[in-house]
Amino acid sequence: MPEPNLLLRPVLDWYAESARDLPWRTPDATPWSILVSEIMLQQTPVVRVLPIWTEWMERWPTPAALAEEPPGEAVRHWGRLGYPRRALNLHACARAITDRHDGEVPTDHAILLTLPGIGEYTAAAVASFAFKGRHAVLDTNVRRVLARAVRGEEYPPKATTSAERRLADSLLPDAGDAPVWAVAVMELGALVCTARAPRCADCPISGLCAWRLAGKPPYDGPARKGQTYTGTDRQCRGRLLAVLRQAHGPVPKDALDVVWDSAQQRERALDGLVADGLAEVLDDGTYRLPG
């Protein structure tokens, strides 16, 4: 296991030269814009997030601006980012910030955790990136870098463990470098230490990486299954939700029926959208986004 202080400077130097120029990383990025980016980036690549994030920031530059709109508008402008409950979470978060925190994103990690839809990762990320806090920020990319570089394992466990959190905490540098360290390790995992084809020759810590030095032993945990989409309930829900997003009023049931052949799966998906608060069924049997 490499000494923690040996990893810090190479990673920070690499990030200073190689970091992507992203709008939520600029010095004038607001805490709200950073929070929105972190929610959108969950399980979604940057290239898909950028245009939607830009539209949101132009339309809703503050939590109060989003809170004034009905939740259906957040779903409508979520586009094709997937996992649209995140849009509802952001809308609920905007209302909570407006109502309980005078429209300002809380600076405190513990208070961030009380906001709707904000978990440990997002709270740590916002506290670090928006307010320069000293927190371990553990997303998939960070967990993979630490698994390889420090633990000598190709992949981290499926779910974040207490051992991973202790390791991440032990690697945190002093407060001044901690926020940059957090985003730099994340960027290293996204651009170099990727899941399927790590570019070890371009890695600033390849000479210290426990996994590489051990001969890159293959992963020996439970089978890692790729996500399927075609034909799933998730795809069906996406088709139905697309009809509702494109309409600016209630949609008759037959307009939804035509987008998916399997009636049983279609009804199950539609019931799921209603149960999740992503759609409403009106008394006349038509459907709309939540209002």
Q: Per the residue annotation, which of 38, 73, 154, 164 is the catalytic one? A: 38
Under a CB-based contact definition with an 8 Å cutoff, are residues 93 and 118 in contact? yes
Asked if residues 140 and 227 have their Cβ atoms less than 8 Å apart, the reply is no
227 C-beta neighbours (distance < 10 Å), count: 7
What are the residues whose beta carbons fall under 8 Å from the beta carbon of 243, sequence distance 6 or more? Answer: 251, 255, 256, 259
The question of whether 69 is a catalytic residue gets the answer no
| H or E element in which residue 238 lies | helix 233-246
Distances (CA, A) of 189 to 38, 55, 143, 183, 200: 16, 27, 8, 10, 11
- 3-state DSSP call for residue 231? coil
Upper half-sphere CA count for residue 193 (Cβ side, 13 Å): 30
Query: Which residues are annotated as catalytic?
Result: 38
